[in-house]
């Protein structure tokens, strides 16, 4: 098995799969090489191992076109975001546009699982994760709409909910734009990307599905950009994306942070950081100027391939999926 400390990612090692994708923010990989990518047209894109692709959606929403109107595309309409496989193979979808947790069969039939909690609208439903006990974990980034108004350092109204046989309930609150969540190999800890906190935190998972006290894991500030998505490998490293700065980092168990890819625009990210530091919402125009060329607004990391060494990068503004080979296999997800 390789090590991460001395490993270098060369741009020449990066290849691409998928064409004309719309907002491929989250990617699910299966053992046979099939990929499922969230798609801004209101469904998912299935990409088979040969590269053939099929858009699967109950009703295609054609509003998404970043080249014509970035604001409308990224802030309005149905926006499938985080995804997970249900136990029966259906696709659980955290819909950032409809503010709901949805489930879609593989032939495109969709229904809403939940869109309210404690009698109130859920808010910006961002990510969904299923564990080995078939509990469904959901992050809600903010109750602010549009979500771009929540991109500020002075707000922490995100939360985590769990859905099980007892229903849905909030198990963690006061998070700084709760984003992706992942469990470690033994499902002892739930790791949380606090986007506007620029950090990863974690909480112990208790037997009843509640969470223990929160602690920061690794650096309290991960540097330029905002953490969006992440994935664990079998060595316990956390591979994470810093959106807007479009950096791919690896955080080791001993606390070392390594930038393995930097594809951002230095001038744009400097402007972003200055605005973010004020505590006021960062202007959408400032956000729009940020991003690189490989995976614009780099948002997620997925391990796939037969040996779980292929790393796929999701993005909010990309039209294809970059991928490369890791020296270390990823930690298998519950569906693997």
The DSSP result for 102-166, as a single string, is EEE-TTS-EEEEESEETTEE---EEEEEE-TT--EEEEE--S-SSGGGG-STT---EEEEEEETT
Which has the closest alpha carbon to 301: 253, 238, 254?
238
User: Does the pLDDT at position 75 exceed 90?
Assistant: no
- Give the integer Cα–Cα distance in Å for 246 and 201: 21
pLDDT score for 61: 77
Q: How many CB atoms lie within 10 A of CB 249?
A: 24
pLDDT score for 63: 77
Whether residue 139 contacts residue 94, with contact meaning beta carbons closer than 8 Å, is answered with: yes
pLDDT score for 77: 76
The arithmetic mean of pLDDT across residues 297-313, rounded, is 98
pLDDT score for 78: 77
**CATH class, 226-331 region:** mainly beta
Whether residue 145 contacts residue 136, with contact meaning beta carbons closer than 8 Å, is answered with: no
Whether residue 324 contacts residue 330, with contact meaning beta carbons closer than 8 Å, is answered with: no
The arithmetic mean of pLDDT across residues 104-111, rounded, is 94
The arithmetic mean of pLDDT across residues 100-114, rounded, is 95
Which pLDDT tens digit goes with each residue over 144-183? 988 999 999 999 999 999 999 999 999 999 999 999 999 9
Provide the mean pLDDT of the chain.
95
Which pLDDT tens digit goes with each residue over 271-299? 999 999 999 999 999 999 999 999 999 99
pTM value is: 0.96
The arithmetic mean of pLDDT across residues 93-107, rounded, is 94
> Percent of the chain at pLDDT above 90?
88
Confidence band (pLDDT; 50, 70, 90) for 2? low
- Give the integer Cα–Cα distance in Å for 79 and 63: 10
- 75: its two tokens: 């802030």
- Give the integer Cα–Cα distance in Å for 304 and 314: 13
Which pLDDT tens digit goes with each residue over 251-273? 999 989 999 999 999 999 999 99
pLDDT score for 29: 98
User: Does the pLDDT at position 203 exceed 70?
Assistant: yes
Tracing tokens 């779980």 back to the chain, one arrives at 308
Which pLDDT tens digit goes with each residue over 78-92? 788 999 999 999 999
The arithmetic mean of pLDDT across residues 29-43, rounded, is 95
pLDDT score for 1: 46
Lowest mean pLDDT among 50-64, 129-143, 172-186, 231-245: 50-64
- Give the integer Cα–Cα distance in Å for 59 and 77: 12
Confidence band (pLDDT; 50, 70, 90) for 59? confident
């Amino acid at each position: 098995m390789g090590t991460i400390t001395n490993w270098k990612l060369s741009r020449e090692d990066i290849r691409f799969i998928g064409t004309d994708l719309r907002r491929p923010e989250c990617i699910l990989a299966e053992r046979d090489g099939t990929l499922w990518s969230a798609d801004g047209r209101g469904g998912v894109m299935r990409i088979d191992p040969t590269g053939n692709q099929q858009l699967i959606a109950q009703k295609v929403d054609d509003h998404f076109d970043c080249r014509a109107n970035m604001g409308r595309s990224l802030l309005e309409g149905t926006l499938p975001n985080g995804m997970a496989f249900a136990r029966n193979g259906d696709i659980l979808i955290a819909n950032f546009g409809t503010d709901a947790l949805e489930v879609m069969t593989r032939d495109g039939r969709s229904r809403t699982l939940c869109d309210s909690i404690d009698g109130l609208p859920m808010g910006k439903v961002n990510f969904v994760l299923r564990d080995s006990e078939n509990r469904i974990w959901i992050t809600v980034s903010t109750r602010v709409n549009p979500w771009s108004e929540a991109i500020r350092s002075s707000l922490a109204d995100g939360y985590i909910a769990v859905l099980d046989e007892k229903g849905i309930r909030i198990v963690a609150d006061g998070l700084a734009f709760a984003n992706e969540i992942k469990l470690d190999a033994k499902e002892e800890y739930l790791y949380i990307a606090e986007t506007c906190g620029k950090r990863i935190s974690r909480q112990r998972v208790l037997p009843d599905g509640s969470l223990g006290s929160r602690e920061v894991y690794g650096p309290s500030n991960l540097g330029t950009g905002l953490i969006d998505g992440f994935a664990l490998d079998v060595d316990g490293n956390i591979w994470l994306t810093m959106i807007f700065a479009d950096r791919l980092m690896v955080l080791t168990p001993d606390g070392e942070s390594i930038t393995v890819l930097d594809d951002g625009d230095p001038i744009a990210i400097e402007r972003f950081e200055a605005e973010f530091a004020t505590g006021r919402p960062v202007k959408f125009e400032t956000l729009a100027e940020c991003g690189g060329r490989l995976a614009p607004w780099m948002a997620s990391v997925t391990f796939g391939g037969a040996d779980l060494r292929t790393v796929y990068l999701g993005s909010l503004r990309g039209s294809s999926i970059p991928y490369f080979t890791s020296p270390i296999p990823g930690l298998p997800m519950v569906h693997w």
